[in-house]
Chain A
Amino acid sequence: MSVDLATVKRVARLARIAVSEEEANRMTGELNGILGFVEQLSEVNVDGVEPMTSVTPMEMRKREDIVNDGNKADDIVANAPASDRNFFQVPKVVE
């Protein structure tokens, strides 16, 4: 499978990365190079093979369903590019 310029622009949109026409053109070639490389996986017979979901045979540990952390609003917004009274500020999203 290979991608064309329109697909690259659509994927960039899905990934929320602005790309210029020139970048999209360059990426098309690069992505096709990588997709060509991974294409060889299709020759592997995977009949009856389970996809890996956990690399170590273990059951995921679950902690107790209790509050064990919190009251850190100042810490949480400390690195925000824009915040106001412990709220993250974003451009207007609702008209």
Chain B
Amino acid sequence: MTDLTRLTIAEAREKLSAKEIKAVELTDAYLSAIEAANPAINAYIAVTPEKAREMAKASDERIAAGKAGALEGIPLGIKDLFATEDVHTQAASHILDGFRPKYESTVTQNLWNDGAVMLGKLNMDEFAMGSSNETSYYGPVMNPWRATGSNADLVPGGSSGGSAAAVAAFLCAGATATDTGGSIRQPAAFTGTVGIKPTYGRCSRWGVVAYASSLDQAGPIARDVRDAAILLKSMASVDAKDTTSVDLPVPDYEAALGQSLKGMRIGIPREYRVDGMPDEIEALWQQGIAWLKDAGAEIVDISLPHTKYALPAYYIISPAEASSNLARYDGVRYGLRVDGKDIVDMYEKTRAAGFGTEVKRRIMIGTYVLSAGYYDAYYLQAQKVRTLIKRDFELAFNAGVDAILTPATPSSAFGIADEDLAADPVKMYLNDIFTVTVNMAGLPGLSVPAGLDHKGLPLGLQLIGKPFEEETLFKTAHVIEKAAGRFSPAKWW
């Protein structure tokens, strides 16, 4: 029998509806794969086999009754940031020890309503703060990819490192993820998977543990462009429980695949050619340009002059919002409590023990930039710069550009416990240099695998679109995917 975990969502959907396979078999195949691989990969921090089998059984019954949903019987992994009723939801933090919410996030509820099966909760950087999945309380995730001829462990990227690794290692058919500064697109690029951060407001943030509320968006990580389109269709909705949820119908993203690029204008921003960028990233970008040209798109050079200020502005705005959002973890209502001599001592000891180093660092920066006397110089200035970053994109789109093509990351996956990166937080932050602008402007961004570097590691290209034009990204990414092919790691685990 063929390995059922190798089926894409689209392929599994077909076999399930033709009754060639059963949802229970598919789920069991994934549960066995997780059991065998997770000790090495550490992608899952909680596996829910009973729940998965129960959901799969219900899927088989609905398929038999002719009542199958759009994701009927498809086994998914869920980032630990999404609230799942009575199931481990800890944002990979010690401070949320034992937290089992009594409610379900809108995004995951949408998936279950469409018949999807939950395999478990996926590892991530603590509170989604990180670019390597090394800030997790549950330890780092191993990238299923290794450099050719090397046994060295690599990071899967972050913060959705568990999601990306689980998809790449065939430990789920697809995964939910979230992206505040690049946390879907960078791990997708590091693992040869497809990830899309939709427009701000497209997926409900209700029940998603908040990091930086004006930047956070949920999206899928999948094996290919079609699967990402299928997943986003189910994840996205209009939700009265999130006041920033946008009241627009969710299109059939899959229908955009295969549409022609003739007459499309693709912008190439000169500011994304940064100092010290490896030649092979530039070469990959040129290859992407050539593929889109061959497909009939017109290539235009554009300028986004405030690009270099996006990352510094992000490291004011996101910690500021985080310091406010994470104030709720005080040892009173949920999670960890460390007793103290009075209530303030209890707060301080709980937060000192419960938060990891990177989370503390960001809370401290956020508290400082919002404190009396510094608000105008830092926070207000950053919010004004954010307006300028968004305006750069608006000017490009108003001049007739339909989508923008850039590299997804400045390098391929790097090593676990990289000493340079550990010694200098700013160096780690530079990983998000190409992705963070998109969050600042609230735009949709998609990362699609486009090739391998000289070490045999995957590299991605990023497509940026106009607000709520995710369809344009899917059809363009589909062209790149067809030209580049798909990439899977050699199994070592």
Q: CB within 8 Å of B: which residues of A? A: 1, 3, 7-8, 11-19, 27, 30-31, 33-35, 37-42, 44, 46, 49-53, 55-56, 58, 60-63, 72, 75-76, 78-82, 88, 90-93
B322 to chain A, nearest CB (A): 11
Beyond contacts A41-B309, A50-B384, A93-B342: 19 other A-B pairs, Cβ-Cβ < 8 A, are: A12-B364, A14-B371, A16-B351, A31-B365, A38-B312, A38-B382, A41-B378, A44-B385, A51-B380, A51-B387, A53-B383, A55-B200, A55-B440, A56-B200, A61-B243, A72-B102, A76-B102, A81-B331, A90-B343
Q: Which residue from chain A places its CB closest to the CB of B241 in the assembled complex?
A: A63
Interface pair B381/A58, CB less than 8 Å apart = no
Q: CB within 8 Å of A: which residues of B? A: 98-103, 199-201, 214, 240, 243-247, 306, 308-309, 312-313, 315-316, 323, 327, 330-337, 339-340, 342-349, 351-352, 355, 360-361, 363-365, 367-368, 371, 374, 377-378, 380-388, 390, 424-426, 429, 440-442, 467
Q: Which residue from chain A places its CB closest to the CB of B388 in the assembled complex?
A: A49
Give the chain A neighbours of B101 by CB distance below 8 A: 79
A10 to chain B, nearest CB (A): 8
Q: Which of A19, A56, A82 contacts B246 (CB 8 A)?
A: A56
Give the chain B neighbours of A88 by CB distance below 8 A: 332-333
A41, B384: Cα distance in complex, Å? 10
Given contacts A41-B312, A72-B102, contact A58 B246 (CB under 8 A): yes
Given contacts A15-B364, A17-B351, contact A33 B426 (CB under 8 A): yes
A1 to chain B, nearest CB (A): 7
Give the chain A neighbours of B343 by CB distance below 8 A: 90-93
Interface pair A18/B361, CB less than 8 Å apart = no
Q: Which of B309, B365, B467 contacts A56 (CB 8 A)?
A: B467
A56, B439: Cα distance in complex, Å? 11
Interface centre among A31, A58, A91 (most CB of B within 10 A): A91
B438 to chain A, nearest CB (A): 11
30 example contacts (A-B, Cβ-Cβ < 8 A) are as follows A1-B374, A11-B371, A19-B352, A27-B361, A27-B364, A31-B365, A31-B368, A34-B315, A37-B315, A37-B429, A38-B313, A41-B313, A41-B385, A44-B388, A46-B381, A46-B384, A50-B384, A51-B383, A51-B386, A55-B441, A60-B243, A61-B247, A75-B103, A79-B99, A80-B332, A81-B331, A81-B335, A82-B337, A90-B343, A91-B340
Number of A-B contacts (CB under 8 A): 169
Interface centre among A17, A40, A58, A92 (most CB of B within 10 A): A17
Interface pair B352/A15, CB less than 8 Å apart = no
Interface centre among B99, B103, B313, B374 (most CB of A within 10 A): B313
Interface pair B364/A56, CB less than 8 Å apart = no
Given contacts A38-B315, A46-B384, contact A16 B246 (CB under 8 A): no
B372 to chain A, nearest CB (A): 10
Interface pair A44/B306, CB less than 8 Å apart = yes
Give the chain A neighbours of B377 by CB distance below 8 A: 1, 42
Q: Which of A37, A56, A90 contacts B346 (CB 8 A)?
A: A90
Interface pair A52/B387, CB less than 8 Å apart = yes
Interface pair B390/A55, CB less than 8 Å apart = yes
Interface pair A79/B333, CB less than 8 Å apart = yes
Give the chain B neighbours of A3 by CB distance below 8 A: 368
Nearest 5 interchain pairs by C-beta? A55-B442, A51-B383, A81-B337, A79-B334, A75-B102
A73 to chain B, nearest CB (A): 11
Give the chain A neighbours of B98 by CB distance below 8 A: 79
Given contacts A42-B377, A61-B240, contact A34 B425 (CB under 8 A): yes
Interface centre among A19, A35, A50 (most CB of B within 10 A): A35
A95, B441: Cα distance in complex, Å? 50
